[in-house]
Amino acid sequence: MKGLVLASRREDDLNRTVVAVDGVRIGEGFVVIAGPCSVENEEQTFRTAQQVKEAGAHMLRGGAFKPRTSPYDFQGLGLPGLKILSRAKDLTGLPVVTEVTDPRDVSQVCEYADVLQIGTRNMQNFALLKEVGRVDRPVLLKRGMHATLMEWLHCAEYILSEGNPRVILCERGIRTFETYTRNTLDIGIVPAVREISHLPVIVDPSHGTGRLSLIEPMSLAALAAGADGILIEVHCNPPEALCDKDQAMPPDRFAGLMRKLRILRETMNEISPRAAG
């Protein structure tokens, strides 16, 4: 595929990349990454981390650097937030995924996080892509909200071509004319990615829908479509969330979703052992 030297897969090559993070293998089975939109304080992060761990999540998410639409909204705790995340990992054993928004912060974020997230607004921030391409940390690359599949894969190529082979793609919804949902979650892109790329692809149904009621069905849809996992926002006390409270899933509901995912995985395994991993 033109320009996609490292991100594309040859039609006859069925091998897929598995990104290993501290014992978690993304690209094998179905990985669930869960946690708050933003790290607000120690108590909120530790409680949520313990609750998602108990429910069976494999990794913890949480933003310390928040790219907000308004400069007056909560921007994240920055370095103190990274330290809280790293202590939450000590407490639960869950590897940490967190967003980096500025090339100047990359080395600091690497000290505290296991996976660097590039958010939708920065998908084509080429200076940032090159910077994360030079470090020894996996990168979770969200799809730009206006990006085509080819534009998205070319951004993965930026990271790969700098020498970092550990790229995970994340579909998080695109902008369409629809306003009922926050974004339009493009589930069809999952099998499309798998057709032309060897990179693991996960789905973020929280930002993809923006509505709590839609997160569970879209999580199940992601699994059924062949995604390698989901990234989902969970908060120990959603009404108090400082960021994205309308899509914050309470822990008991998350535990229920995890049970349904397990049942669907078993069913998929019966149909086609390879499909569900």
State yes or no: residue 244 binds Mn ion (CB under 5 A): yes
The footprint of ligand PEP on residues 36-95 (CB under 6 A) is 37, 63, 67
State yes or no: residue 171 binds ligand PEP (CB under 6 A): no
State yes or no: residue 142 binds ligand PEP (CB under 6 A): yes
Cβ neighbours for 205, distance < 8 A, ≥ 6 positions apart: 185, 214, 215, 218, 219, 222, 230, 232
In whole angstroms, give the CA distance from residue 153 to residue 249: 30
Q: Cβ of residue 1: shortest distance to ligand PEP, in angstroms?
A: 25
State yes or no: residue 119 binds ligand PEP (CB under 6 A): yes
Which residue's CB comes closest to ligand PEP? 119
State yes or no: residue 120 binds ligand PEP (CB under 6 A): yes
Q: Cβ of residue 178: shortest distance to ligand PEP, in angstroms?
A: 17
The footprint of ligand PEP on residues 26-45 (CB under 6 A) is 37
99 binds, among ligand PEP, Mn ion, none (CB under 5 to 8 A by kind): ligand PEP
The answer to whether residues 144 and 152 touch, using CB atoms and an 8 Å cutoff, is: yes
DSSP 8-state assignment for residue 5: T
Let me know if 10 is exposed, middle or buried by CB neighbors in 10 A (0-12, 13-18, 19+).
Answer: exposed
Residue 235, SS3 per DSSP: coil
In whole angstroms, give the CA distance from residue 94 to residue 116: 15
State yes or no: residue 125 binds ligand PEP (CB under 6 A): no
Residue 168, SS3 per DSSP: strand
Contact residues for ligand PEP, defined by CB under 6 A: 37, 63, 67, 99, 119-120, 142, 172, 204, 207
Contact residues for Mn ion, defined by CB under 5 A: 37, 244
